[in-house]
Structure 1
């Protein structure tokens, strides 16, 4: 039932003191023939979908489709996380992550979503400035795609970069079960790299986490038997929320806190005890191969609900883009932790000039941390192997003022047509903990109403005591203007997802240049499902669909 974990934590006063790779909330190319749309990949396949012009070695591809019309099938499949643990996942084309879609800037893309699940689904193109009716938000831009039905998405791949796609129907559950994949748009001029690897990050609940959940569930049942059975009581009015990513019944997992060590009355993320890269953990993660002298790109995509801090051993690196947006003249550094929040993407490049067997690994102390690492192997090297060291204390990379300033898009002191403040916070109501924007939970939050061409400045303030809030704006990129009152003087940072730690304040700006109704929400989807959602709406805009009351649309 919804917020049962909240109630349990409230009653027990449960406190968890752990250090996490999230506690600061933080591929091999196998060319194959064109895939028959009816063919379903087996478990452990993570196929790439690519355009005819693409010849770049990339990611963990096992199948290639050689045109710009793709079919993505939502279906249930058994999925192995490591040598000991399997889950009944919800997949796109039979794999977790789903197929990588890889196209070239300017190409028209058509994706047929076929739903073979028992629940409605959608696809949202995270970070892509698609037309509003292609954004995949049930009840806002379309009706959810019903079981047995197909919906076709069509849009232009207009902005090169690293993006991803996922279901936005009941996202807190469906994304958690595996409905996501990466989406890469290569620039027209091509990429000046020799290797291009995509690493999609996520968290799952294994058997140990299941045991914790079952024990807590048992304690909850015992306490409930001594409580009032009033239908209107807090405990009896909490709706079920399946947040397992596993073959569990619908009431088995509830809202949980992303902050390990957090003693607040939030959701408990400690039950996520298997962390994955491209759907695999530990020994099941295949190493990345490089040759000495090659230029290598690593794309980090966080599809989970926790921040993860990554260290690339043995290499001098550059962060060349964030959320798909290029960083001008990035500097070189090494031995810093790159923290990737939910929904964020970071592209990293380096020259492979230090032969050896090195690690790309998550840092932290959670049970799942040790499994979230991947080896970087130099071809032909037979010497000593670098040792993983997830406990090593390293400084955090700071994107603010990284790179060199190009022509400024927006400034703090220019005139704006709309100025809006978002107070991000939490509070209790009759159903338990809610996550609020300016004191209200969606759908009661105040919308940001704009006109086409408006310049909009938004102040984001995280007044939550313990929770990070990675705020994601659909359909637009925004420029980060300031952090904690200090202007960003040295760089132009463009993003679509920005993580705010407790007490932090950012000012961002964007131009209202993509007409529609657009979600603006926290991408810890626990928080979104509990209210931290608003919309940017354009005056006079009318959606081109009629909401179906029988579609079970659940946009959060």
Structure 2
């Protein structure tokens, strides 16, 4: 498995922008009235090719995976792997209840798949090579077809040798618009990521596909993430990041998606806001916040909403102490605002929103003390084995980890414990949402919280619960994909599920 994290860009209109119902913005485009297959103005890559727009709608979508080069930071062009010649790939935007067909064509030098992160698809559509399908070979195609029943903010990415292929740029956002969701004036998506900018990399030729043999899945070396020295929003860093235009009085929704391998502390300047959803699932009666950061871990999504009631130019930015953070900021620009902007303050210490106490208690699916069909403990740890750093679940690495065996309609309670001394573990369950019941021994006090990705800091213990309501063989793994590729993966297996999938030993399937 070969990985390294240099991902890339494309002019994402106004940040993978999706203008939900705004009449005067983004060159006058109003996405609420558009039903075309593609929207937004074209832009050019550094290859000189004209790129199609970055929002795709409709019930049939075409995605082509191919090699490109794109400018990530001013003067810094990197080789990338792309969907539809851009990183992030186009936002796919569908309506609740749609049956969508997505045709993947592989023009890369290596096999590829697509996983629909957070979307409860049928198991055969989950995109896991060797588990639900064979990896799509160079020159070949595969069609994903599923119904989008659950509205929310999701994303898609390759799950073939994913620690490397995400690093190269194979991801995009996926939004399911709810039938009854309230309309906003502006709807923006910000995909967060990290890259390596070393000169050697930027001069490498990726067309051969082996990336000079660099393999980040085995590059743990104590899991040093400082190699990622370039942080991006929608594939751009620093002055290349697109502004977010607003008008006074606009109701603005920002969808934050972490496509990288590090957590980010996102701060909205100058405005009160609410966190209205996590991992696409709504928060009950969210509280008003100001000058808090949202801690967003790899694989997680947070939707925030605010009213544009403070004219000027305001930042939304990452907070922390390393130099790369300076590149992860975007400007919210009011129409007619004077030149200049508020000052960056990325080193300011601000409290993170405590999601275990956020929002208002309400009707929940599960309780801590009810009887469950199955209870299971996952002890997550970091160990040295045979001179290499590995990441274990109950002392074992995948594929030796013991699966969680269930039958349909079982209720399952899982205790997750992070015994690693320094590493976070954002654990992602495919095909299901789980309810978070407690954190570090304390029951959740706020809104019921449904998630598919949950970050455990060192020493954290969470209890979660879900119903086995989506038959199949599903991955449950850490979404710091360095950890997954070094062992931190198990499976949720329905013992009463029969698949007709047959793995091809010649397909080169690499599920992590």
Q: What is the TM-score when the length of structure 1 is the normalising length? A: 0.82
Do the aligned partners of residues 275 and 527 (structure 1) sit closer, same or farther apart at CA in structure 2, a change above 3 Å counting? same
1:205 aligns with 2:192: no
DSSP-derived class of the 2:420 partner = coil
Distance of 1:210 and 1:545 partners within structure 2: 38
Shift of 1:490: 2.9
- 2:389 pairs with 433, 448, 462, which one? 433
* Alignment-derived partner of residue 460 in structure 1: 416
| Higher deviation after alignment, 495-504 or 430-439 | 430-439
Instruction: Tell me the alpha carbon deviations over residues 331-360 of structure 1, each in whole angstroms, 9 at most, x when there is no partner.
Output: 001101111100000000000001110000
- 1:391 pairs with 341, 347, 352, which one? 347
Matches within 5 A, 1:324-343: 324-343=280-299
Shift of 1:207: 2.4
Shift of 1:43: 2.1
Q: Larger radius of gyration, structure 1 or 2?
A: 1
Shift of 1:189: 2.4
Distance of 1:254 and 1:210 partners within structure 2: 17
- 2:478 pairs with 515, 518, 522, which one? 522
Instruction: Tell me the alpha carbon deviations over residues 84-116 of structure 1, each in whole angstroms, 9 at most, x when there is no partner.
Output: 111110000000000100011001110001000
* Alignment-derived partner of residue 150 in structure 1: 141
CA contact (8 A) 1:3 1:433 kept: no
- 1:346 pairs with 269, 284, 302, which one? 302
Shift of 1:385: 2.5
DSSP-derived class of the 2:136 partner = coil
1:357 aligns with 2:313: yes
Distance of 1:453 and 1:442 partners within structure 2: 26
Do the aligned partners of residues 176 and 64 (structure 1) sit closer, same or farther apart at CA in structure 2, a change above 3 Å counting? closer
DSSP-derived class of the 1:196 partner = strand
Distance of 1:356 and 1:389 partners within structure 2: 17
* Alignment-derived partner of residue 407 in structure 1: 363
Do the aligned partners of residues 500 and 41 (structure 1) sit closer, same or farther apart at CA in structure 2, a change above 3 Å counting? same
CA contact (8 A) 1:422 1:458 kept: yes
Distance of 1:477 and 1:253 partners within structure 2: 29
Distance of 2:449 and 2:75 partners within structure 1: 42
1:170 aligns with 2:150: no
| Higher deviation after alignment, 461-470 or 534-543 | 534-543
Matches within 5 A, 1:372-383: 372-382=328-338
Shift of 1:42: 4.0
Instruction: Tell me the alpha carbon deviations over residues 399-455 of structure 1, each in whole angstroms, 9 at most, x when there is no partner.
Output: 112111111210000000000000000111125111000000000000000010000
Matches within 5 A, 1:173-192: 173-192=164-183
CA contact (8 A) 1:166 1:179 kept: yes
Do the aligned partners of residues 255 and 337 (structure 1) sit closer, same or farther apart at CA in structure 2, a change above 3 Å counting? farther
Distance of 2:404 and 2:286 partners within structure 1: 34
Aligned residues: CA RMSD:
2.5
Do the aligned partners of residues 158 and 204 (structure 1) sit closer, same or farther apart at CA in structure 2, a change above 3 Å counting? same
Distance of 1:504 and 1:362 partners within structure 2: 23
Distance of 2:390 and 2:291 partners within structure 1: 38
Distance of 1:411 and 1:97 partners within structure 2: 39
DSSP-derived class of the 1:362 partner = strand
Gap runs ≥5 in structure 2: 5-13, 18-25
* Pairs aligned (count): 479
CA contact (8 A) 1:43 1:79 kept: yes
Do the aligned partners of residues 44 and 126 (structure 1) sit closer, same or farther apart at CA in structure 2, a change above 3 Å counting? farther
* Alignment-derived partner of residue 119 in structure 1: 110
Do the aligned partners of residues 3 and 108 (structure 1) sit closer, same or farther apart at CA in structure 2, a change above 3 Å counting? closer
- 1:511 pairs with 463, 467, 472, which one? 467
- 1:160 pairs with 151, 165, 176, which one? 151
In terms of fraction of residues, the more strand-rich structure is 2
Do the aligned partners of residues 276 and 3 (structure 1) sit closer, same or farther apart at CA in structure 2, a change above 3 Å counting? closer
Q: What is the TM-score when the length of structure 2 is the normalising length? A: 0.89
DSSP-derived class of the 1:249 partner = helix
Distance of 2:489 and 2:109 partners within structure 1: 26
- 1:490 pairs with 419, 436, 446, which one? 446
CA contact (8 A) 1:41 1:95 kept: no
* Alignment-derived partner of residue 291 in structure 1: 247
* Alignment-derived partner of residue 45 in structure 2: 43
Shift of 1:126: 0.2
1:141 aligns with 2:146: no
Do the aligned partners of residues 114 and 3 (structure 1) sit closer, same or farther apart at CA in structure 2, a change above 3 Å counting? closer
Shift of 1:398: 1.0
1:276 aligns with 2:232: yes
Shift of 1:330: 0.0
Distance of 2:56 and 2:479 partners within structure 1: 31
Shift of 1:191: 3.4
Distance of 1:405 and 1:109 partners within structure 2: 35
1:478 aligns with 2:434: yes
Shift of 1:365: 1.9
Gap runs ≥5 in structure 1: 5-26, 46-59, 215-242, 258-264
* Alignment-derived partner of residue 250 in structure 1: 213
Do the aligned partners of residues 254 and 453 (structure 1) sit closer, same or farther apart at CA in structure 2, a change above 3 Å counting? closer
Distance of 1:88 and 1:44 partners within structure 2: 10
Shift of 1:41: 7.2
